[in-house]
Structure formats: C-alpha cells, structure tokens
Amino acid sequence: MSESNAAVSRLAAGERIRAELLGPEFVARERQARTDFDGPFQELVTEFLWGHLWMRDGLERKTRALLDVAILGALGGRAHGVAVHVEAALRAGCTDLEIRETLLHVSVLAGVSAGSDAFKASKATIAGFKPEPIR
C-alpha cells in the first residue's frame, strides 16, 4: 500500500472510531465548524490519534479511553476535553466507577485542583449520558 493510500485508510478509520467514541453528532459539529485554517489540524488529529493510535494492538479501547481522561484531567483547566473524553470512555464501555478511580489517581498525582476540575466536568457528563447504538 502506498503512503498516500495508507494515510487515506488511517483517516477513514479515524473518522469511524472518532464517531463511535465521540458520537456522530459531535463529529458532524466538528466537521461543520472546520475551516481552511484548522482543517489540516483536524485531519492530523483524526488520522494519527484516532486512525493510528486507537487502531494499535496492545491496549483495549477502555484502557485508551481512561488514559485520555487521566491525561486531560492531569493537564488541568481542560474541562471541555475531559467531558468529551469521559463520554468517549463511557461509549468504550468504561463504568463510572472506573472513571472515578482514574480521576482519584489524577487528583493525588497531578494535584487536587486538576482533579477537582476533572471531577466537575465528568460528573455532569456521566449524569447526562444517554448511549447511542454504534452503527
């Protein structure tokens, strides 16, 4: 497979996985908001984060989803990102218990302020989550 064909394949896989985990409505909103300026960035994220990293063997989706929640929570001040990835974790089959335990780790290792922000963002997302069937 040529490099350009591989990139198209990763991009398509990334779009599929992203929609499965973030929801088709989220992906549609992101696509609608895409401009010439940020379009290349959105393609990069979709191809390499979702289409390459999430396709690799070695970690289950649940583990990758919890890693995303932990990393974003540890970075602090990224409540929207935490909320988006908590929903992805729920779609990947994570329980609220697993998310809570992940955030407790974040709180101790990355700081209580980061953990507090992550808990606030996660609490609202978990309470309002309504799973959609994966198509």
Q: Are 126 and 102 in contact (CB under 8 A)?
A: no
Q: Which of 10, 25, 56 is the last residue of a domain?
A: 56
Note whether 33 and 95 are same-domain residues.
no
**φ, ψ dihedrals at 94, nearest 5°:** -70, 150
Number of structural domains the chain divides into = 2
With H, G, I as helix, E, B as strand and everything else as coil, classify residue 93: coil
Note whether 74 and 112 are same-domain residues.
yes
Note whether 91 and 50 are same-domain residues.
no
Q: Distance between CA 48 and CA 13 in Å, rounded?
A: 10
For residue 46, give its domain range: 1-56
User: How much is the pTM?
Assistant: 0.81
The predicted-structure confidence for 21-39, as pLDDT tens digits, reads as follows: 999 999 999 999 999 999 9
Note whether 33 and 63 are same-domain residues.
no
Note whether 19 and 82 are same-domain residues.
no
The predicted-structure confidence for 88-132, as pLDDT tens digits, reads as follows: 999 999 999 999 999 999 999 888 888 888 999 999 999 999 887
**DSSP characters for 13-66?**
HHHHHHHHHH-HHHHHHHHHH--TTTHHHHHHIIIIIITTGGG-SSS-HHHHHH
Note whether 51 and 64 are same-domain residues.
no
Note whether 47 and 100 are same-domain residues.
no
Q: What is the pLDDT of residue 54?
A: 93
Note whether 98 and 131 are same-domain residues.
yes
Note whether 83 and 131 are same-domain residues.
yes
Note whether 49 and 76 are same-domain residues.
no
Q: Are 22 and 61 in contact (CB under 8 A)?
A: no
CA proximity to 49, closest of 83, 88, 75: 88
Q: What is the pLDDT of residue 44?
A: 93
Note whether 30 and 96 are same-domain residues.
no
